[in-house]
Structure 1
């Protein structure tokens, strides 16, 4: 049986932790079962002190809450309700321990792993009760937890809880923490004497959120997010911010006082840069950080804790020389393709591999259109009808209006190179000129005919698809901006296209490429075109793997979804929360673990219905398997593999909103 973890995702809560032990219930140690220096035993029957717990405890696979340690527990109901605190470092899962110690020699034989799984987590008359005692160091909470998919009744939960409480020195403080929606529903039947602590309450008492695990050396700066509009950052800055900004240029480390969502653009860019990113409550007034303001420091974001220390200028320079990004070379543009293509015809597999087919399509049609083409040719996957405009027409626009020559002048200007404020101003002028420039007449004629024939009466979304985004190793999430145009007002369409093309020259995008030593003139932009989503009921992002389980032993889909409207799911306004959950789609019972809830829906309700969650799960499974030959195990990848997916639920008035997948790209992972 794979070990289970308890995944908690970063969202700020105002909810107080009401289930913490009162002062008279503070934990008091008993006599230790083990003497200092004793070797770790296979198990203990009771835990008398912190030392006993520490010897047996392992770091949980879940690394989203720092400082958590767990000891797995087994109650053998056949053998007089004997309780075992197993050595969880040696035996990572219950089955390993049970089959080694509680099988035969007068006890019933423990069968296969498959039989064990089906019986001991689901059967009412199961032999074993299985759980874990987890200590959350940040909030100082001792919690008994079951697997998210465990179907134990309240009576069985109570039996295990009381046994663990009586056998552990922490018993007076022990709470029950439901790890899934189903477990939480059954826990409502527990007696009032058993304190239940929800994920929301547990997380409210946590002050550190590790997002991207990495180390960087840079100059520590404190900045209010609103000041970023007039303050320029250097590549080698590590910034402390009061909240997640709408926009931020390239830096080597980020600490935000406001907690982030794991799929925010800022975090995905940090993952792409391999630079540390973390949330820390009250970071702006943190004494340790403030003491180092303006100094060169080494910041390390770890799975369970963080550290910062001052370094010398010489050490900082040496670190930069050793760790500065390896120059990224983009796929060379293919300007031989000049026809518009229906999206199904962009990636053609032939007899070659999917990976090679994608590589062949990206030079002409960019990463977004190429991946969308694979989605569109995946059976039973709902996507919108679309077509792609090749990169040739961007190059034609640039050449016919003299923009490449103007760009050469900018790049050769020493003041442009040296001063970020000059770069920002000149790039703004450059974009303004692009937005006012004429568009080739033959291109306009071709586009008018295509839209009239295949998309009559529809407003259209013109989406960026460059050779420098949605790529393996360089996703560049949020680098470029797409726009909508209404063909009934042709100038509106031209404006949308020009604004989309011009987003190549946004300041933040330019700085991102500069950080990676990318040749700016090598960028080309194709367009992915489809009917827009004018008023969707829900929008979201998802990963086709569990980002807090790098081992792959706790598979699940991570989903972040919000009701339709103005609140972006990857960057919500201050104080706005979304639904976030782990969906164990391939587990019996389809366990669903909500990590946070949207505060834009009625309390107690969720953004998606159970039927919509299942519909989404089927799509995510299809996407995960479909792209495996390009990026996953079927491509020889034995490490992290997940697709980053954007989706909508949309429907006409009176219709049940249905799923539409917007895009998928390889996700870089969470760091080491």
Structure 2
């Protein structure tokens, strides 16, 4: 079969465009700070390559998000956390799932028979340990906490302990045989203050003993809470009187709002005169 001169030019043009698009995609990936994810982390250097680091803390907190796909033989993705801020951004961005909003939240944080396990791996300098943790509102069952520990053991270069972020996670994980744990109280032992997000805020102090749907919250308020809530509307600042993690969902929201967030021991008692 003969190809006309016009046909040859068209073919060359198509090949050229394919090469240009391929080069552009490669350049975009490189400019984005490396690969989207890795299937294993075999060294500290690989961990640091993907880690996002909070430097507005008393100690640096490098951390890497990870996703375990239970539908794909428990395949783990160590996410480039400099490129993806949230798990859903990675899952949607790589077309593992197109679920969004409440559907994604319900199926992967509440449903025990979930497809994805969504966690964070961090280096805790005060105790010199790597830990893995889940969002404080995650209803992950004990068997999946154990599964996560097993997958990390096979794919991560150093021992990793579990850090529960809620009463349920604490109680459920306590009965998992052979599971090493590090509690937030171990990390913040004897600590009376910790800046979780350094920023400036101006507002009215509002001390809340128990946060529920009946409590009215204003955008111009600095909330003083006994425990870290699962969610909040935008406010002028947050103070909690129970040790919290800088990796909490609330702290991610607060960082986005650009307002201060801190742990202060006995904050309710100290600040009650200003409420």
Could you list the per-position Cα deviations for residues 442-474 of structure 1 after superposition, in whole angstroms to 9, with x for gaps in the alignment? xxxxxxxxxxxxxxxxxxxxxxxxxxxxxx9xx
Larger radius of gyration: 1
* Aligned equivalent of 1:576: none
After TM superposition, give the deviation of residue 582 of structure 1 in Å.
1.5
Cα distance in 2 for partners of 1:79, 1:593 equals: 41
After TM superposition, give the deviation of residue 586 of structure 1 in Å.
4.8
Cα distance in 1 for partners of 2:49, 2:111 equals: 32
* Aligned equivalent of 2:25: none
Q: Is the 8 A contact 1:73 1:130 kept in 2?
A: yes
Gaps of 5+ in 1: 1-38, 104-108, 215-270, 273-354, 356-366, 372-379, 383-471, 473-541, 545-557, 560-579, 597-637, 649-660, 665-672
When the two chains are superposed, the root-mean-square deviation of aligned CA atoms in Å is: 3.9
Matched, 1:176 2:176: no
Matched, 1:100 2:112: no
After TM superposition, give the deviation of residue 196 of structure 1 in Å.
1.2
Cα distance in 2 for partners of 1:140, 1:663 equals: 38
Matched, 1:41 2:27: no
SS of the equivalent of 2:52 reads coil
Cα distance in 1 for partners of 2:222, 2:171 equals: 26
TM-score (norm 2): 0.63
Task: Quickly say closer, same or farther: Cα 1:586–1:139, change in 2 above 3 A.
Answer: same
* Residue correspondence of structure 1 range 185-584 to structure 2 within 5 A: 185-191=171-177, 193-204=178-189, 543-544=222-223, 558-559=224-225, 580-584=226-230
* Aligned equivalent of 1:640: 259
TM-score (norm 1): 0.27
After TM superposition, give the deviation of residue 663 of structure 1 in Å.
4.8
Could you list the per-position Cα deviations for residues 467-493 of structure 1 after superposition, in whole angstroms to 9, with x for gaps in the alignment? xxxxx9xxxxxxxxxxxxxxxxxxxxx
Cα distance in 1 for partners of 2:241, 2:70 equals: 28
* Residue correspondence of structure 1 range 7-46 to structure 2 within 5 A: 40-46=34-40
Count of aligned positions? 207
Task: Quickly say closer, same or farther: Cα 1:593–1:83, change in 2 above 3 A.
Answer: farther
SS of the equivalent of 2:53 reads coil
Task: Quickly say closer, same or farther: Cα 1:209–1:125, change in 2 above 3 A.
Answer: closer
Runs of 4+ off more than 6 Å: 205-208
SS of the equivalent of 1:85 reads strand
Cα distance in 1 for partners of 2:61, 2:137 equals: 21
Matched, 1:162 2:150: yes
After TM superposition, give the deviation of residue 59 of structure 1 in Å.
2.2
* Residue correspondence of structure 1 range 614-653 to structure 2 within 5 A: 639-640=258-259
* Aligned equivalent of 2:243: 595
After TM superposition, give the deviation of residue 99 of structure 1 in Å.
1.1
Task: Quickly say closer, same or farther: Cα 1:98–1:197, change in 2 above 3 A.
Answer: same
Q: Is the 8 A contact 2:68 2:77 kept in 1?
A: yes
* Aligned equivalent of 1:138: 126
Matched, 1:74 2:74: no
Cα distance in 1 for partners of 2:273, 2:191 equals: 34
Cα distance in 1 for partners of 2:70, 2:58 equals: 33
Q: Is the 8 A contact 1:148 1:179 kept in 2?
A: yes
